[in-house]
């Protein structure tokens, strides 16, 4: 029997309506990853920083005040976010080893969403790309859009010809014999001169395209690269600050009694031309670097603001889960340390904001969470079943009730070459009050370990290792550590 045109039109309309209704029940995800961002933000209590857009996001989100990364370096931290597996599970602690060398069949977070009907798109720095590592094509519905981590506007900051050393490393090219670029730059240029400005424009375009496809929920991962070194930003963001108002850290020496190998002294920073190879930095240079970090943070904040404004303008925010996550913290001269690469508080504590439909907003939570917890949390919020065997635990209940506890501790790691011992792994337990770090070779007897213990109620600046003077606390925290399996021995190249 021949159908009438009106009936066919009606049936098609009903099918489209059903598809749109089904898609509307699936929330969108906007995952914002920020490189090297510590909680020096207005919403976290910093009085100098200008971060109005992140602060506005906090007003519509749950802000986690005790959030921690799983390792304070880019690639392992991002592996933890995207696979739900800690570095000590993967056995990958370096920049250059791709996570699929350890877990070739891993189902990444965006890959799981993709298989369940979301359009997954990544842009900027999501997976760590560089130092031999590559992006993960299986995670994305469309090819990943890259953004350079290192980029300059001023000729004086660059190599006279070709790439600087760090530009080459982040482009997976040989850095042998290449010159070093500047550690910071203030240029009177438009925002889109640098990668984060161009990334914001690209993300806005992706949001507009998503608006035109209401029958297809999106998982959009946007990875801003500032305030990662070099600290480059348009001059107007430097001009937000008076350098005379910045102060050097109160404690500028390593913790008393800490193992000699536990700190580090800025190896990454010393790859830039205007920083000495060894020895202390002058006060003038330290203040310039602190100024640069804040300027780069404000520049990134402005680009994020453009993306969030477009999300609101398009009417997409009401059905979108928004996550802002910093991959790890950063030392700004405390303990005489620069960059990340430690187990200390300034390197491991991260900003984390989660705004989700139907959840609390504009509130803070003191519950302990760690990066691997985001994978199962986003699955629960989206109505997906998380994979078995993940290291993380969903904190969706805390988004409903910010006072709800998540866990009694988090765990993170860092590897070191210890004199006379070779490579050891520092496994750290962080509770609300204490941090215990156990340094030993994976699988070695327990009595070969060295320990650090810090009490953040009595000594928030980590002035002294208390392990020798408080054996009862060490013993208590070791029982918590024993609940975790031994770290898998490193399978990748050494840390730079």
Active site residue 69: no
- Provide the 10 A C-beta neighbour count for residue 231: 26
**CB within 8 Å of 341: residues ≥ 6 apart:** 72, 73, 264, 267, 268, 347, 414, 495
Say how far apart CA 127 and CA 132 lie, in whole Å.
12
What's the Cα-to-Cα distance from 27 to each of 120, 320, 465, rounded to whole Å? 13, 5, 46
Closest CA relative to residue 230, chosen from 279, 174, 169, 172 = 169
The closest of 471, 325, 489, 326 to 413, measured between CA atoms, is 489
Is the CB of residue 412 less than 8 Å from the CB of residue 370?
Answer: yes
* Catalytic-role residue among 33, 43, 128, 335: 128
State the catalytic residue, choosing from 74, 131, 144, 434.
Answer: 74
CA distance 357 to 93: 35
Residue 277's H or E segment, with its range, is: none
387 vs 300, 378, 383, CA distance in Å? 33, 12, 13
74 catalytic, yes or no? yes
Number of other residues whose CB lies within 10 A of the CB of residue 9 = 11
Strand bridging mode 218-224 / 422-430: unpaired
In this structure, the dihedral spanned by the alpha carbons of residues 312, 316, 320 and 325, taken in order and rounded to 10 degrees, is -40
DSSP 8-class letter at 273? T
What DSSP line would sit under 293-346, residue for residue?
A: HHHHHHHHHHHHHHHHHHHHHTT-GGGEEEEEEES---EESGGG-EES-SSSHH
- Distance from C-alpha of 365 to C-alpha of 330, rounded to nearest angstrom: 22
Name the residues annotated as catalytic: 74, 128
């Amino acid at each position: 029997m021949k159908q009438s045109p009106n009936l066919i039109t009606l049936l098609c309309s009903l099918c489209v309506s059903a598809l749109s209704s089904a898609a509307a029940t699936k929330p969108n995800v906007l995952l914002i990853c920020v490189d090297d961002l510590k909680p020096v933000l207005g919403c976290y209590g910093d009085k100098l920083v200008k971060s109005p857009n992140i602060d506005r996001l906090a007003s519509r989100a749950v802000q986690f005040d005790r959030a921690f990364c799983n390792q304070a370096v880019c690639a392992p931290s991002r592996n933890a976010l995207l696979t739900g597996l800690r570095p000590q599970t993967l056995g990958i602690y370096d920049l250059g080893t791709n996570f699929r060398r350890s877990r070739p069949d891993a189902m990444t977070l965006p890959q799981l969403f993709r298989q369940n009907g979301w359009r997954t798109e990544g842009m900027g720095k999501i997976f760590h790309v560089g130092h031999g590592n590559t992006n993960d094509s299986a995670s994305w519905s469309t090819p990943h859009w890259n953004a350079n981590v290192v980029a300059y506007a001023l000729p004086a900051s660059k190599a006279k010809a070709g790439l600087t050393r760090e530009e080459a490393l982040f482009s997976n090219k040989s850095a042998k014999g290449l010159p070093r670029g500047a550690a910071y730059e203030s240029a009177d240029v438009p925002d889109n001169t640098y990668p984060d400005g161009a990334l914001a424009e690209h993300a806005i375009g992706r949001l507009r395209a998503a608006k035109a496809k209401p029958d297809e929920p999106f998982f959009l991962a946007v990875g801003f690269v500032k305030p990662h070194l070099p600290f480059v930003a348009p001059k107007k963001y430097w001009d937000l600050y008076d350098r005379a108002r910045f102060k050097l850290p109160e404690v500028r020496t390593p913790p008393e009694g800490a193992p000699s190998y536990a700190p580090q002294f800025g190896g990454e920073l010393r790859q830039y031309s205007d920083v000495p190879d060894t020895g202390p930095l002058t006060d003038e240079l330290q203040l310039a670097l602190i100024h640069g970090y804040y300027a780069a943070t404000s520049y990134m904040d402005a680009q994020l603001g453009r993306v969030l404004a477009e999300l609101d303008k398009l009417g997409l925010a009401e059905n979108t889960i928004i996550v802002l996550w910093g991959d790890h913290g950063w030392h700004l001269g405390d303990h005489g340390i620069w960059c990340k690469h430690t187990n200390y508080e300034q390197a491991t504590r991260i900003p984390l904001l989660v705004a989700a439909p139907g959840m609390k907003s504009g509130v803070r939570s003191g519950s302990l969470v760690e990066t691997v917890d985001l994978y199962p949390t986003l699955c629960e919020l989206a109505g997906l079943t998380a994979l078995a065997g993940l290291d993380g635990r969903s904190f969706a209940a805390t988004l409903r009730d910010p006072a709800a506890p998540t866990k009694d501790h988090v765990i993170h790691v860092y590897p070191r070459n210890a004199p006379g011992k070779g490579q050891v792994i520092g496994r750290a337990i962080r509770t609300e009050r204490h941090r215990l770090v156990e340094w030993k070779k994976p699988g070695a007897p327990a009595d070969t370990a060295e320990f650090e213990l810090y009490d953040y109620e009595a000594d928030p600046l980590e002035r002294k290792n208390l392990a020798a003077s408080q054996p009862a606390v060490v013993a208590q925290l070791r029982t918590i550590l024993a609940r975790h399996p031994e770290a898998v021995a490193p399978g990748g190249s050494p840390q730079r």
